[in-house]
Structure 1
Amino acid sequence: MSEASSEDLVPPLEAVVAPDQEKQEAAKKKKPKGLANMFSIFTKGKKKRAKPSVVEPPTEPESSPRLDGPMPTVEELKEALERGRLEAAGPLLALERELAAAAAAAAAAGGASEEELVRRQSKVEALYVLLRDQVLGVLRRPLEAAPERLRQALAVVVEQEREDRQAAAAPGEAALAATRPRRWLQLWRSGVAEVAAERLGTRPAAGAEGRSETESIFLHMGCTMKEDLEAVVERLKPLFPAEFGVVATYAKSYHQHFAAHLASMAQFELCERDTYLLLLWVQNFYPNDILRSPKLAKELQDVSLGSLLPLKQIHLLEATFLSTEAANVKELMARALEMESQHWTQDVAPHRLDGHCHSELAIDIIQIVSQGQAKAENITPDLGTQMKQVLLVELAVFLRSYQRTFDEFLERGKQLRNYRANIIANINNCLSFRTSMEQKWQILQDPRSHLLDPLSELKVHGLDTLLQDLFVDLKPLFKRFTQTRWAAPVETLEEIIDTVVGRLPEFSELQDCFREELMESVHLYLVKEYIIRLSKRRLVLKTAEQQQQLARHILANANVIHNFCTQNGSAATWLDPALPTLAEIIRLQDPSAIKIEVATYATWYPDFSKGHLNAILAIKGNLSNSEVRSIRNILDINTGVQDPSRSLFSHIKVG
């Protein structure tokens, strides 16, 4: 073996592995593009037998140098290493130790000259360069090597690491240049980092499979990392010694490159979609679908990889996402309402669904809000909770705007042909809104929530508008009670009921629950108007018999009203005692008994005032002023807080 030049001593690793890289680049250019073909060489062995590695030794001819028996010469070792025979590592190590012993002996007894020792060391180092390149070449593409050859390369690294530790414990003589520690394990880790950068750094075609460039990059990096690490776990971990920490080394290298790419990307002003994708990968896909995937979770649980981005940066991105998404939801809801209101003003008839007037507005709005929340929940459940609060605020603003827009339509659209049908469709909308909100966000379970107040107002205004014409028709009929001095109360009430019956089909396209509410309003109106007629002070009955006869008429009419309304869906049972108790007050003659009835009545209807009581007692012309005052004083007792949803006498004005 000729004397090695200084360049032969420690050539850079990059120069050695460059031929391998050139072959890899050439192979890549021949491979078809697409995500299906972007997986690591780690996965190749799963589908087909791996081709021989570029570092695989050729078939040895019979004239190949022998490494067994006596110590081979330097020339034989060089030839063996050039042929890729890793078993030459043992004799080479022996040669190195022999050189170290000679150097020690020379230092002690003046043996070989220093120049001779340096010459021999240069030859040994040149051989180690050959060995290093062969070993690291195998480890750079471990799944392309035969298992036995891979084991040989690993054994060489283990042996070299052990020799490094021994050399550190017993430093060599000054006559020789320091060559240890060689740190081949560290070089291997650096090689893994280069492979990770190479594998993840490949850029898929922009917009591949309909995806954006950013989405394609994330998908490529994520799939590549997952596939490669699974191959490391399944195929390399059983072969690598524990001191390599092969799974942790590959995982950290891939993680560091992934994180570096995302950190670089996050430095720029991102578009809305890229911000969402970045958060989705950092907070969900990467930790859950990759690190905690079934094949990797157990292997990586003790590998501290951390987050792909710093927490502070994640919070900034989340704040940007929440703000942007809320603005999008707001804009989409406003656009949906504008389109809906245009249909009203353009006199477009609403759809019919299962016999009911139907509007898509509620479905559209709930879908818009739900999609906004779902996007946040896809990132993290905690961000979904934050988004829920933000979107509920926007939804409350929208519902108030919806209610105002509907009120304007009630005022301005009265001449439109589909006016009533669109009113019914929007009242029915309230059920869709309420049901969806209750199912998705349990809003109605919070007594402090006023989110649905605009819907309640919209429904009430709509029902009142639908009933206006009916109540206008009923008003003159109720006046007959006093105009005829209650001469024919049964016949008058029958005409009133017939009028209501004739108008009920107009409300058939309401949802059942709203038709029931409408009947409760009719029920309330009938009872209220009846009491108003009794309170007109135009009827004064001075005998007990006259009072009892009127009481019987009132009871009979009360039963007719009750039966009719309940049979048609009214659930306003709170109105049941309103007329019968007044009839009882009119019938009774004992002031003490009347007081008891009045006190009981006031507990049912706290808005029953002295003015109302005076109007009823005015019918009883046989009561003295002192008896009236005594009975009236019963109402001085506070009977409790009035429930505004069950207000009866507050609607009745007395003169």
Structure 2
Amino acid sequence: MLKMMTFQGLLDQRPVPGTLDFLRHPQKLPSPSEADSEASMSEASSEDLAPPLEAGVSPELEGVKAVKKKKKPKALASVFNLFKGKKKKSSPCSVQPELPEPGLGLDSRAPTVEELKAALDDGRLEVAGSLLALEQELVALAMAGSLDAEELVQRQSKVEALYTLLRDQVLGLLRQPLDAAPERLRQALAIVVEQEHADQRAAEAGPGVTTLVTTRPRCWLQQWRHGVAVVASERMGARPAAGAEGLSEMEGTFLHMGRTMKEDLEAVVERLRPLFPAEFDVMATYARSYHEHFVTHVAALTQFELCERDTYLLLLWVQNLYPNDILKSPKLAGDLQGISLGSLLSPRQIQTLEAMFLSNEAANVKELMARALELESQRWDQDVAPQKLDGRCHSELAIDIIQIVSQGQAKAENITPSLGLQMKQILLVELATFLRSYQRTFDEFLERGKQLRNYRANVIANINNCPAFRTSMEQNWQAIQDPRSHLLDPLRELKSHSFDTLLQSLFLDLKPLFKRFTKTRWAAPAETLEEILTTVGGQLPQFQELQDGCWEELMEAVHLHLVKEYIVCLCKRPLVLKTAEQQQQLARHILANAEAIQHFCMQNGSPANWLHPALPTLAEIIRLQDPSAIKMEVATYATSYPDFSKGHLSAILAIKGNLSSSDAKSIRNILDLDTGTRAPSRPLFSLIKLG
């Protein structure tokens, strides 16, 4: 049997080692100006960063050696470890130049370029305000024309080198936000916000002095977002750790991506969102970055020809697991509600994949059911005895078929309820086709396998299959309009043919016993019936391996046969009773026999209550002498047995030798009133052929 892959439970498992590491592993964050920044930093020697003497800087700074080499900023580190609360201690600065507070210099003196560089090298972000003031001062000098072009370019290069240091410090912190102390993280975030405001002011001011190279907007917020996208791609695209056994490479990849996205975004909600200013829109930024990688990955998969399993897996993630288990998970649903991430695939792509899935699954179900029937048929022909379950003959065929159909239905419903409804319609057709094939195959076995030792046991085992089929269909297909008309008919025919086969020998043994009623002109009917019932009782034990419900149906068939054959004997022409006394005596015999038949059949489990009035009412028709009273009995009888025809009534009335032909015709005409108004739900008289 096929086993469906389900991932809801796997998504909720705790992360394997290395999960959620998007804040700890060193990685380089590309930026639009990375090449320029490297070039600027290579030029940022102590000589370049020393302001000219004529700018008011003390000459002692001219001989200062080159400043420390720029440290490369750490990339985003592991989110998993940091989301558990681990924090890296920042190393203390070896040298801390005395710097004035931003905007309030000591002795009203602004820090020098070299002092700013040394402070930035030591990670002192508080000098960002002084750097911004230095940039604004340079713009003001340029606007006033106080400096020549060469000196403006030289000073601007130094400012830009400092900004490169600051940017790397700030974005480096934001690449590993939970690795920093909250106050230091807020400081870095505030610097980005201030830079965004400076970009806006520069845009509002219009083009600057042509001598200066345009450096605004710096777009640090945009660079941060780009860095988040890079991290998301690296996190989602990382090789998944060894997962659950039985998962294919594609299944393992989807599970890794889904779990990574879910747990990373939960960490963003819990730890980052409270710290980040609104300008960052931190949740939307991370969510869109992870979503876009998922979209790209899924879109790439659709370019290839997918196998059945991968088609199902892709639909399951796109239509169910991703929107429900990730985007609507308890910790994320509220925050993602206002972020329109959309579907991983377009509606047209989804429709194409769903059509492929339905076609594949229908073919798969059809093949599996045919294979199960073939294996079962081989066991019949090989005379393999069926299993015994609680003393009853048992076949696995019904269980196998029900499981095959249920799995196909469940797979579709796992994707979406609407796809489940489409699958139900398809499986309904396939199941009806299978049951008809099953009935034909078993009918062939009933004809060719009569000499096999385990013939009767296999017949009983397949009769026992029918209730399981019927129960499953009535429970699972009740929403389908009138499924019984085409689904249950093959089962009824299979059982009917099987019961006829099982009871054939018994009925042959009963045939000469019933003939005694007519040959002896109904002499000693009680003794004859007693022998009939003894014969039946002697053969019933061979059917005890039937399930209870099937045993009741068998007994109903036996009950029907006894009543039918008794009526056949009454309809035989040779019996004509001309006196009322003779007719009343026969009626008493019939009533006694009817009571014996009913008691025997009920005692052995027959549920056929509908047969109870069949013989007693005929006895009453034979006993009555008043034509009007006979008419009333006939009218009532026809209501209970709509297949009671004029021919059958004539055969019964022929017993009454003292009934005139006109009265007989008048009584027969009662049946014309109801002719064609109602078809019999259970045949009785239609089984009795006259002539």
TM-score (norm 1): 0.91
Instruction: Flag the 1:569–1:17 CA change in 2: closer, same or farther, 3 A.
Output: farther
1:46-89 residue CA offsets vs partner (Å, 9 max, x unmatched): 4462445xxx6x42124535344220111111222222221121
- Alignment partners' CA distance in 1, 2:673 and 2:82: 92
The equivalences for 1:139-538 within 5 A come to: 139-171=174-206, 172-204=208-240, 209-442=245-478, 446=482, 449-538=485-574
Whether the aligned pair in 1 keeps the contact of 2:40 and 2:157 (CA below 8 Å) is: no
Which residue of structure 1 aligns with residue 113 of structure 2? Answer: 74
Whether the aligned pair in 2 keeps the contact of 1:603 and 1:639 (CA below 8 Å) is: no
Which residue of structure 1 aligns with residue 620 of structure 2? Answer: 584
* 1:653 CA displacement: 1.6
> How many residues are paired up?
626
Which residue of structure 1 aligns with residue 97 of structure 2? Answer: 64
SS at match of 1:450: helix
SS at match of 1:239: coil
Instruction: Flag the 1:444–1:653 CA change in 2: closer, same or farther, 3 A.
Output: farther
* 1:485 CA displacement: 0.9
Which residue of structure 2 aligns with residue 41 of structure 1? Answer: 78
1:105-149 residue CA offsets vs partner (Å, 9 max, x unmatched): 22xxxx322332222222212211221121112112222223222
SS at match of 1:273: helix
Whether the aligned pair in 1 keeps the contact of 2:393 and 2:460 (CA below 8 Å) is: yes
Out of 123, 132, 136, the residue aligned to residue 171 of structure 2 is 136
Letter in 2 for 1:161: E
SS at match of 2:487: coil
SS at match of 1:59: coil
- Alignment partners' CA distance in 2, 1:469 and 1:303: 76
Letter in 2 for 1:41: S
Instruction: Flag the 1:187–1:317 CA change in 2: closer, same or farther, 3 A.
Output: same
Identity level (%): 73
Which residue of structure 2 aligns with residue 3 of structure 1? Answer: none
Letter in 2 for 1:160: Q
Letter in 2 for 1:157: V
- Alignment partners' CA distance in 2, 1:398 and 1:364: 13
- Alignment partners' CA distance in 2, 1:571 and 1:239: 76
Q: Which moved more, 1:122-131 or 1:233-242?
A: 122-131
Q: Which moved more, 1:400-409 or 1:200-209?
A: 200-209
Letter in 2 for 1:465: T
Whether the aligned pair in 1 keeps the contact of 2:120 and 2:165 (CA below 8 Å) is: yes
Matched, 1:612 2:651: no
Whether the aligned pair in 2 keeps the contact of 1:42 and 1:232 (CA below 8 Å) is: no
What stretches of structure 2 of length at least 5 have no aligned partner? 1-32, 43-68
Which residue of structure 2 aligns with residue 83 of structure 1? Answer: 122
* 1:232 CA displacement: 1.1
Q: Which moved more, 1:197-206 or 1:496-505?
A: 197-206
Quick check: which one's helix share is greater? Answer: 1
TM-score (norm 2): 0.86
Instruction: Flag the 1:563–1:396 CA change in 2: closer, same or farther, 3 A.
Output: same
- Alignment partners' CA distance in 1, 2:150 and 2:509: 126
Instruction: Flag the 1:123–1:447 CA change in 2: closer, same or farther, 3 A.
Output: closer
1:144-196 residue CA offsets vs partner (Å, 9 max, x unmatched): 22322221211110111111111122233334232211111111111111111
- Alignment partners' CA distance in 2, 1:62 and 1:148: 22
Letter in 1 for 2:99: R
Instruction: Flag the 1:17–1:582 CA change in 2: closer, same or farther, 3 A.
Output: farther
Instruction: Flag the 1:444–1:499 CA change in 2: closer, same or farther, 3 A.
Output: farther
Whether the aligned pair in 2 keeps the contact of 1:9 and 1:122 (CA below 8 Å) is: no
* 1:577 CA displacement: 1.8
- Alignment partners' CA distance in 1, 2:385 and 2:133: 97
RMSD, aligned CA: 2.4
Whether the aligned pair in 2 keeps the contact of 1:276 and 1:321 (CA below 8 Å) is: yes
Instruction: Flag the 1:19–1:273 CA change in 2: closer, same or farther, 3 A.
Output: farther
Whether the aligned pair in 1 keeps the contact of 2:463 and 2:494 (CA below 8 Å) is: yes
- Alignment partners' CA distance in 2, 1:463 and 1:306: 60
What stretches of structure 1 of length at least 5 have no aligned partner? 1-5, 25-39
* 1:633 CA displacement: 2.1
Whether the aligned pair in 2 keeps the contact of 1:351 and 1:358 (CA below 8 Å) is: yes
Which residue of structure 2 aligns with residue 597 of structure 1? Answer: 633
- Alignment partners' CA distance in 2, 1:608 and 1:278: 62
Whether the aligned pair in 2 keeps the contact of 1:284 and 1:379 (CA below 8 Å) is: yes
1:484-505 residue CA offsets vs partner (Å, 9 max, x unmatched): 1111111111111111111111
Letter in 2 for 1:524: L
Whether the aligned pair in 1 keeps the contact of 2:386 and 2:395 (CA below 8 Å) is: yes
- Alignment partners' CA distance in 1, 2:508 and 2:296: 75
